Amino acid sequence: MLRKQTQVSIEKALEKRLDFSMHFEILNPNEIRFLGYSVFQTNAKGAYEKSRLASQIILLQEVTKYISTEILQEIKALLLVQLKSRYAPCYQGTIGVDMMIYISDNQYFLHPCVEINMRKSMGYLALQFSENILAPESEGAFFVDFDAQPGSIFQKHQTLQKQHPWVIRKQRLLSGYIPLCPVNSDTRYWSYVLV
């Protein structure tokens, strides 16, 4: 790897407890809107696996099990200052800041910036889905998955359709399975919602 890339960076491994992100929208150089939080899960290599679908109240409760609301508000305020000075002059659109809560010496800490995504990320999609489609009392997950075995995803898709049919109440998804991309016998990558 070193011969190929000529450089390597090393970071201390942290004992992670929770991945989450704050999402913003830069409307113009003087206006930035806070959109909300997303809570997600990654695999052992740090690759995205799924996002939690729930109300902002529930997601905030999950984050504040480990750190205080005051710390979150302070980080949000600092991010707004940085986004306004560094990003807003040259970028308009959504931006997500991935964060991590980790434990060290029996104390929880916040890593306030693991990654910045200048795009509509998976967390943004989960946030929008929860706010605009999910019933307020429901919870679920948004998944992205890969399976190299031919037909495997199609078989799972058919099983989930039978086991978890949609239930809509007051024009909101109360429960069920929804594929977010076409699924056929050749599908290898798959994104879906299960509520």
**What's the pTM?**
0.90
Radius of gyration, alpha carbons of the chain: 19
CB-based burial of residue 19 (10 Å sphere; 0-12 exposed, 13-18 middle, 19+ buried)?
A: buried
Strands 48-53 and 140-146: antiparallel
Q: Going from the N-terminus, what domains does the chain have, and what CATH number goes with each?
A: 1-120 (3.30.470), 133-195 (no CATH)
Mean pLDDT of 104-117: 95
Mean pLDDT of 66-70: 97
pLDDT at residue 4, as a whole number: 87
pLDDT over threshold 90, residue 28 = yes
